[in-house]
Amino acid sequence: MLDTYERNINYLRISVTDRCNFRCVYCMPPQGKRWLDHDDILTYEELLRLIEVFNREGVTKIRLTGGEPLVRKGIVEFIAAVTALGRIKDISLTTNGSLLPPLAKDLKAAGLSRVNISLDTVNPASFARLTTCGRLEDTMKGIESAMEAGLAPVKLNVVLTEALTEKDLAYFVELVYRHPIAVRFIEYMPIGGRGFGGGPDIATVKKMLNEAGRALLKPTGTVRGNGPAKYYQFPRAQGAFGFITPISEHFCSACNRLRLTADGKLRPCLLSNDEIDVKTPLRNGASDRELAELFHAAVAAKPQGHSLCRSSGFPDFERTMSQIGG
């Protein structure tokens, strides 16, 4: 479905829970957040119905997020049910990776195509500070299990914070030479967390990668997923580096997504507080056509772009990143 600015909206990011086993500093405040009550979260049956309805309006790709989606019981069976619909061409998932090892093969068998795993540093102490309660070794095992299960391409999401060092970049350079993995550097977006501050900018990261790789990164084709990252590759490397710049270089003109929060709100734009309630009509007996009209309303409300930039500051967001689904 085309929006007001001729963008084809065919991608839905679905938050299946606001809960997470980490407390990443840029994702939620230090005191944490009050979790949604069980009854406030859309059931898997409700999500399946919305996926069917929205698919008829053009959605062919979904990504499951949280919180941490793997903390929700029944996630493997839910993915199998989405696959069984036979209508969604691409199912992916964003995770911190810590819970992946016992689930990776089952997720792949259920129909999950690939995963994005958050890994902002490979320094155990810095990782523990960033995540508050996470262990680096758990996430590293999750990455290994994803590659072994064939959830390809595995993508690593690296938020640019002061935790990122030359040693991290040297590790990532070695990684992409050895494995067909995509390491994506993401500008920090201040949505409800307490930040970590002081991270390098994209230009600096590229320069440091070139020095660590002793070669020049060259632009390469889009890595599977068709997201906002611009990809570069070293000669003879199996993997690639991606750069995602929501603040310094907006990619709104190519944005093809809506977001559905765990409590049933459609968000036309991540960087806006605007939401459309679909849970209440859904639970009050709305027809498929009425639910489709809410999807149309969200598409129509999608702005041409956001106006965030570091020089003008950032607005107050009513929800943290963990509550939105990223």
Dist. CA 226–CA 231, nearest whole Å: 11
* Residue 242 lies inside a defined structural domain of this protein: yes
Dist. CA 50–CA 38, nearest whole Å: 19
pLDDT at 316: 66
* Residue 266 lies inside a defined structural domain of this protein: yes
pLDDT at 311: 45
Q: Residues 293, 50: contact at Cβ < 8 Å?
A: no
Residue whose C-alpha is closest to residue 191's, from 319, 66, 95, 311:
319
Both tokens of 165, joined, read: 């060092």
* Residue 137 lies inside a defined structural domain of this protein: yes
Query: Which letter does DSSP use for residue 43 in this model?
Result: P
Q: Residues 79, 91: contact at Cβ < 8 Å?
A: yes
* Residue 1 lies inside a defined structural domain of this protein: no
Both tokens of 250, joined, read: 């907006």
For the stretch 131-162, pLDDT in tens is 999 999 999 999 999 999 999 999 999 999 99
* Residue 2 lies inside a defined structural domain of this protein: no
Q: Is 113 annotated as a binding residue?
A: no
Dist. CA 25–CA 31, nearest whole Å: 10
Number of structural domains found in the chain: 1
User: In terms of residue numbers, what domain contains 129?
Assistant: 11-324
Dist. CA 258–CA 300, nearest whole Å: 11
Q: Is 184 annotated as a binding residue?
A: no
For the stretch 178-209, pLDDT in tens is 999 999 999 887 765 555 566 899 999 999 99
pLDDT at 30: 66
Average pLDDT, the chain: 91
Q: Is 133 annotated as a binding residue?
A: no
Q: Note the pTM of the prediction, 2 decimals.
A: 0.93
* Residue 113 lies inside a defined structural domain of this protein: yes
Average pLDDT over residues 7-15: 96
Provide the greatest CA pair distance for the chain. 61
Q: Is 309 annotated as a binding residue?
A: no
% helix, strand, coil for the chain, step of 5: 35, 15, 50
CA 78 to each of CA 134, 255, 277: distance values in angstroms, whole numbers, following the listed order: 26, 26, 22
Q: Residues 8, 2: contact at Cβ < 8 Å?
A: yes
Q: Is 289 annotated as a binding residue?
A: no
Q: Is 310 annotated as a binding residue?
A: no
pLDDT at 197: 62
User: Kindly report the CA angle at 110 between 147 and 64, in degrees rounded to 5?
Assistant: 75
For the stretch 25-36, pLDDT in tens is 888 776 677 899
In sequence order, what are the residues at sequence separation of 6 or more whose Cβ sits closer than 8 angstroms to the Cβ of residue 148?
A: 104, 105
**Domain of residue 295, CATH code:** 3.20.20.70
Q: Is 311 annotated as a binding residue?
A: no
Q: Is 260 annotated as a binding residue?
A: no
Is the peptide bond preceding residue 303 cis, with omega within 30 degrees of 0? no
pLDDT at 177: 96
Q: What H or E segment, with its residue span, contains residue 155?
A: strand 155-159
| Three-state DSSP state, 55 | helix
For the stretch 37-59, pLDDT in tens is 999 999 999 999 999 999 999 99
Q: Is 73 annotated as a binding residue?
A: no
Residue labelled with tokens 């691409």 = 90
Label residue 173 by pLDDT band (50, 70, 90). very high
Residue whose C-alpha is closest to residue 283's, from 45, 16, 15, 37:
45
Q: Is 294 annotated as a binding residue?
A: no
Q: Is 189 annotated as a binding residue?
A: yes
* Residue 6 lies inside a defined structural domain of this protein: no
Q: Is 258 annotated as a binding residue?
A: yes
Dist. CA 69–CA 82, nearest whole Å: 15
Q: In this structure, which amino acid lies at residue 22?
A: F
Both tokens of 90, joined, read: 């691409």
CA 254 to each of CA 7, 11, 15, 58, 295: distance values in angstroms, whole numbers, following the listed order: 7, 12, 22, 16, 19
Q: What H or E segment, with its residue span, contains residue 51?
A: helix 44-56
* Residue 297 lies inside a defined structural domain of this protein: yes
